[in-house]
Structure 1
Amino acid sequence: MSGRSGTRITDSPDFDRAYKNGMAYRGKLFSVHAFGNELGRPRLGLSVSKKVGNAIVRNRVRRRLREVFHASLHELPGSLDFVVSARPASSDSSVEDLKAEFRNALDRFSKKR
């Protein structure tokens, strides 16, 4: 797979596996579930419900979360799937706020491993 498409989780069973069996971080802006994969590369799955806002707001949140993930790729373990579920507070957050919260999640996961 080329480009960023190889870093996205799109299949429901992959989301379910992360929710049921993965490590969880629950923050103010979003929650993150992380679960190992056998692909040798980190992947991102996003869940942004209508509680976050209208379609324009939800798409902005998705773009920002993808940006945070791709900016953090060099810090991520190579074989984890990350499922991020946005909370309504994420709609008013800056990219810097989202990055700080994602770093908190990574720190928590590194302590659990």
Structure 2
Amino acid sequence: MRDCYLKKNIDFQRVYKKRNITGNRNITAFYKKNNLDNKRLGFTITKKVGNAVTRNRLKRQFKDIYYNNFNLLKDGYDYVFVIKKSCLDLSYKELEASFGHICRKLNKVIK
């Protein structure tokens, strides 16, 4: 696999603790330098967004979007994307556009 996903709570907490944040209407992104040659990322969706089926569907869609656009993010960083409730009303194309927008913002911030 090209890149890894964050899976353990401690990894998510390290990224949150660094407090490097950017976002848009649909996604909030936290990032932290990881001193590795690859990027790692995780997706978080709170129970406010919907039931488990809805949250898992959104998570699968975002993983697919990331897989198709993995080169948009810089290597050497951990990323956590917090998916907001507004994503429920969006089509796949709109989710992809929102993810692309947040990646471009991240690349401007991370020089």
Local SS of the residue matching 2:38: coil
Going from structure 1 to structure 2, the CA distance change for 1:22 and 1:69 (only over 3 Å counts) comes to farther
Q: Which residue of 2 aligns with 1:12?
A: 9
Q: Which residue of 1 aligns with 2:40?
A: 43
* TM superposition score normalised by structure 2: 0.86
Compute the displacement of 1:20 (Å). 2.1
Q: Which residue of 2 aligns with 1:95?
A: 92
Local SS of the residue matching 2:41: strand
Query: Could you tell which deviates more after superposition, 39-48 or 22-31?
Result: 22-31
Structure 1 segment 15-94 matched on structure 2, within 5 A? 15-94=12-91
Deviations 1:17-43 (A, max 9, x none): 211215312222121111111221111
**Equivalences, count:** 110
- Displaced runs of 4 or more, over 4 A: none
Local SS of the residue matching 1:32: strand
* TM superposition score normalised by structure 1: 0.85
Contact 2:27 2:81 in 1 (8 A): yes
Taking only aligned residues, the RMSD between alpha carbons, in angstroms, comes to 1.7
Work out the percentage of aligned pairs sharing the same amino acid.
Answer: 27
Gaps of 5+ in 1: none
Gaps of 5+ in 2: none
